[in-house]
Amino acid sequence: MNNPVVNLNDIKNKIKLKLNNLNKDKVSKIIAVSKTFSMDKILPLVDYGHNDFGENKVQETLDKWSEIKSKKDHIKLHLIGKLQSNKVKFAVKIFDYIHSVDSEKLARKIADEIKKNQRQIKIFIQVNIGREDQKAGIEINDLETFYNYCLDLNLNVIGLMCIPPLDHNPEQYFSEMQSLNEKLKLPELSMGMSSDYLKAIEYSSTFVRIGSNIFGKRD
């Protein structure tokens, strides 16, 4: 039987071993990607004391998490999917981190709603690191200008996020992301999923987004 707590601890041990081998002190946080999973699969991790969970749909998140989050303030919710501007006012009420900011329009809307709701939300800028036409994310050549635009809006940008192209070795993309993050002197870096999180950690990822390796395959 699939046991999320056992799986989580197995991943933690692998990360700890990897960091020891790399002589790195900073612990990489695990975002348990709970999107589409029901609360009966998620609650064992909540009860165990895990803090960080990832969702990709605003309404699903409100339905699943509002009650639990009001009782357990240690829970931190990460929006890891595309955020439509008409959903921002709802997203700002429930999420603590937004990993997918990639346009001036979206950044401006988030800044406005943060001000209205008096909430502290941490922001990652999504980078289209694979230069893919169909994928979200700011273009690399526009990154520094967009980062400064976000700062002018008083957004708390803590790092960059990427999803490398499927069926490619992610290493070159992780390396490029590490360089971009260092150039902007940002403290956090969101990259790495179930198939490549250990490789991402080699390139200084501080948040890894893991779903199927914790919860099992989605239906």
The reported pLDDT for the residue numbered 130 is: 87
Going from N- to C-terminal start, the domains of the chain cover 4-215
pLDDT tens sequence across 55-86: 999 999 999 999 999 999 899 999 999 999 99
Residue labelled with tokens 């980062």: 147
What span, in angstroms and rounded, lies between the C-alpha atoms of 98 and 145?
19
Quick one: how far is CA 35 from the chain centroid? 12
Q: What is the mean pLDDT of residues 16-37?
A: 92
Query: What residues does 157 pair with on adjacent strands?
Result: 123
The C-alpha angle with vertex 170 and arms to 164 and 173, in degrees rounded to 5, equals 70
CB atoms within 10 A of CB 58: 22
Percent of the residues in the chain that have a pLDDT greater than 70, as a whole number: 99
pTM (2 d.p.): 0.95
Could you say which architecture CATH assigns to the domain 4-215? Alpha-Beta Barrel (3.20)
Beta-sheet pairing, 122-126 with 156-161: parallel
